Amino acid sequence: MYLLFATYFLLGIIIGSFLNVCIYRLPLGKSVISPPSACGSCGHRLGPLDMVPVFSYIFLRGHCRYCKASYSPRYMLVELLTGLLFALCGLYYLPGLKMALVFFFIACLVTQAFIDLDHQILLDEILMLMLPAGVVYAYYALPDMWDSLYGALFAGGLMLLIFLLSRGGMGAGDVKLSFVLGVWLGLKGSIVCLMLAFILGGIIGVLLLATGIKQRKDPIPFGPFLCIGAYISLLFSPYLIYFYWNLFV
């Protein structure tokens, strides 16, 4: 079992390395395939030893091997995060189609979350990939396809209402992401996802304002909180619902 978890983790950090490319290039309209990766400072093309997930950053101490310029530790953090998220799925899914779909779902969540943090946008191109994959996942994982539809209508409808009432306080991308997440999570999972997103968003927002990192008029992207809520809901929503229900029984 430990070997299986290690395999998922290694797969995750490898995919996380590719997600770093997607996070940087997709918002700029650049291809994620070409040109090959290069140092952002000196432009030197990176070799295989420069792009080993996690380990290259550690061994090179966060510096380019050619010009010695430093680069952000976030590249390594994205790789580690993806690896850990993949490994945790090994506790709940057996190898097969559902697990492959879940890994794809996680990759999309990580990509959207960091793009939203950087640019305050959620890419329609990724949502269009997530939607059909979510329909396939719902067919195999949810009680029935109606549950997927109800989840999409609830999550997308609630966020659309907030979008209209807030007059720009909530982005249209959040509405579309919520709709797609509802397809994946079903009705109960969507409720848990949105509850977690609003709770986490409220807590983090208050902390950012209290510490002066953000001002009242500064935008705080909501997409990352939706992505966190979606991941937690995907794995733990039955347990969270059971725990919450027993608080009042």
Residues 58-105: tens digit of each pLDDT: 888 888 788 887 888 899 999 999 999 999 998 888 889 999 999 999
**169 shares a domain with 192:** yes
Residue 102 to residue 119: CA distance in whole angstroms? 25
Of 41, 73, 91, which one is at a domain's C-terminal end?
Answer: 91
**140 shares a domain with 37:** no
Helix axes 145-166, 172-210, angle to 10 degrees: 60
- Which regions of the chain are under pLDDT 70? 1, 168, 247-249
Of 62, 91, 120, which one is at a domain's C-terminal end?
Answer: 91
**221 shares a domain with 188:** yes
- Backbone dihedral region for residue 14 (phi beyond 0: left; psi -120 to 50: alpha; all else: beta): alpha
pTM, 2 dp? 0.93
Chain segment 132-152, per-residue pLDDT in tens: 999 999 999 998 999 999 999
Domain region containing 190: 96-249
**142 shares a domain with 47:** no
**248 shares a domain with 159:** yes
- For the chain, the domain total comes to 2
Residue 32 to residue 107: CA distance in whole angstroms? 14
**100 shares a domain with 69:** no
**100 shares a domain with 85:** no
**142 shares a domain with 39:** no
**189 shares a domain with 170:** yes
**105 shares a domain with 123:** yes
**160 shares a domain with 51:** no
Q: Count CB-CB contacts under 10 A for residue 74.
A: 14
Instruction: Report helix, strand or coil for 249.
Output: coil
**248 shares a domain with 217:** yes
